[in-house]
């Protein structure tokens, strides 16, 4: 569940004006992000934010993931959990055997189905916290968990050991920080609380066979870190 501020103010017992937090399902929160361009707007109708479009962020990421995918003798299958506007994913499809891209926003998935077509590409509307995840050898979650509450991150994390490889990209604060401070799911991230996701730390305590940082990019807000986890 996500919480958004209800713009209508209500009077409390002492007749003081106060803002009321109304819980929203994460799907509604993410739909609102796209409808109101809360991650900015580009030339496209749906816009997943600077992290999905700025060349200095996207190009090194694609290079790193392409190198990982090409390190196998035979192409592997991928699922892209929280694929967004697919500006990044579209560059990776050709290096995979099969690519399943999912997102919680149905209108975005319908638009992606129209816009991006390949014989090995499939789109699905799915809530990764609450639905069964697609099967594949590798899963990628690029700047998705950073927008979710700890409760939802935990529900996703519990399913990740079904994959051999998981590639996670998260926006983290520079320097030392307390990981996994809880947030309400939605547009924002833990950066505003000087925190970021670490799946190996409590309360997630993910156990992995191997962990390798593939890419670290500094920007004005923090560091965007891409980590490869091996589970099998
Ligand atoms: C910041 S965007 C990143 C998009 C893409 N991964 C990229 O890097 O370009 C985060 C995406 O995660 C999706 N998302 C958030 N919660 C989700 C959930 N529970 N299930 C599936 N998708 C979700 C949002 O709708 C949004 O499209």
* DSSP sequence for 35-49: HTTTT---SSSS---
The end-to-end CA distance of the chain, in Å, is 31
Atom of ligand 1 nearest to the CA of 39: 1
Question: Is residue 37 included in any domain, yes or no?
Answer: yes
Question: Is residue 34 included in any domain, yes or no?
Answer: yes
Question: Is residue 151 included in any domain, yes or no?
Answer: yes
Atom 13 of ligand 1 has which residue's CA nearest to it?
82
Question: Is residue 71 included in any domain, yes or no?
Answer: yes
Distance from the alpha carbon of residue 82 to the mean position of ligand 1, in angstroms: 3
103 in ligand 1 pocket by Cβ < 6 Å? yes
105 in ligand 1 pocket by Cβ < 6 Å? yes
Distance from the alpha carbon of residue 210 to the mean position of ligand 1, in angstroms: 25
Q: In the chain, how many domains are there?
A: 1
Question: Is residue 80 included in any domain, yes or no?
Answer: yes
Ligand 1 pocket, mutate which of 46, 52, 84 (most atoms under 8 A from CB):
84
List alpha helices for the chain, DSSP H.
Answer: 26-35, 55-69, 106-115, 150-157
Domain of 147, CATH number, reads 3.40.50.150
Atom 7 of ligand 1 has which residue's CA nearest to it?
52
Q: Please state, in angstroms and rounded to a whole number, the distance separating the CA atoms of residues 171 and 35.
A: 23
Residue range of the domain that includes 134: 25-230
Q: What is the pLDDT of residue 154?
A: 98
Are 138 and 230 in contact by the 8 Å Cβ rule? The answer is no
β-pair type (77-81, 98-103): parallel
Q: What is the pLDDT of residue 42?
A: 75
Q: What is the pLDDT of residue 23?
A: 60
Q: What is the pLDDT of residue 24?
A: 86
Distance from the alpha carbon of residue 166 to the mean position of ligand 1, in angstroms: 16
User: What does the radius of gyration of the chain's CA atoms come to, in whole angstroms?
Assistant: 18
Question: Is residue 47 included in any domain, yes or no?
Answer: yes
Q: Please state, in angstroms and rounded to a whole number, the distance separating the CA atoms of residues 79 and 179.
A: 26
Question: Is residue 116 included in any domain, yes or no?
Answer: yes
Atom 10 of ligand 1 has which residue's CA nearest to it?
144
Angle, CA of 170, 75 and 61, to the nearest 5°: 25
Atom 4 of ligand 1 has which residue's CA nearest to it?
84
pLDDT per residue rounded down to tens, the chain (232 residues) = 444 433 333 334 344 444 555 668 999 999 999 999 999 987 778 999 999 999 999 999 999 999 999 999 999 999 999 999 999 999 999 999 999 999 999 999 999 999 999 999 999 999 999 999 999 999 999 999 999 999 999 999 999 999 999 999 999 999 999 999 999 999 999 999 999 999 999 999 999 999 999 999 999 999 999 999 999 9
Atom 12 of ligand 1 has which residue's CA nearest to it?
82
29 in ligand 1 pocket by Cβ < 6 Å? no
Q: Judging by beta carbons within 10 Å of its beta carbon (0-12, 13-18, 19+), is residue 59 exposed, middle or buried?
A: exposed
Distance from the alpha carbon of residue 84 to the mean position of ligand 1, in angstroms: 5
Question: Is residue 75 included in any domain, yes or no?
Answer: yes
49 in ligand 1 pocket by Cβ < 6 Å? yes
Atom of ligand 1 nearest to the CA of 169: 8
Phi and psi at residue 55, to the nearest 5°: -60, -40
Paired with 111 in beta bridges are: none
């Amino acid at each position: 569940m996500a919480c958004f501020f209800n713009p209508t103010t209500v009077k409390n017992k002492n007749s003081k004006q106060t803002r009321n937090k109304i819980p929203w399902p994460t799907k509604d929160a993410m739909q609102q992000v796209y409808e109101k361009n809360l991650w900015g707007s580009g030339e496209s109708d749906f816009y997943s934010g600077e992290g999905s479009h700025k060349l200095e962020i996207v190009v090194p990421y694609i290079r790193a993931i392409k190198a990982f995918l090409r390190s196998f003798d035979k192409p592997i299958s991928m699922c892209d959990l929280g694929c967004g506007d697919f500006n990044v994913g579209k560059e990776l499809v050709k290096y995979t055997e099969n690519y399943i891209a999912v997102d919680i926003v149905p209108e975005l998935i319908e638009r992606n189905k129209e816009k991006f077509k390949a014989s090995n590409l499939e789109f699905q509307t799915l809530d990764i916290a609450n639905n069964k995840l697609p099967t594949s050898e590798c899963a990628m979650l690029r700047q998705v968990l950073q927008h979710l509450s700890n409760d939802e991150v935990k529900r996703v994390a519990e399913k990740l050991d079904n994959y051999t490889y998981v590639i996670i990209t998260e926006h983290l604060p520079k320097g030392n920080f307390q990981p996994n401070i809880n947030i309400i799911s939605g547009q924002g991230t833990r950066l505003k609380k000087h925190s970021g996701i670490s799946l190996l730390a409590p309360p997630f305590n993910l156990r992995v066979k191997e962990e390798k940082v593939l890419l670290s990019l500094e920007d004005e807000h923090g560091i965007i870190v891409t980590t490869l986890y091996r589970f099998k």
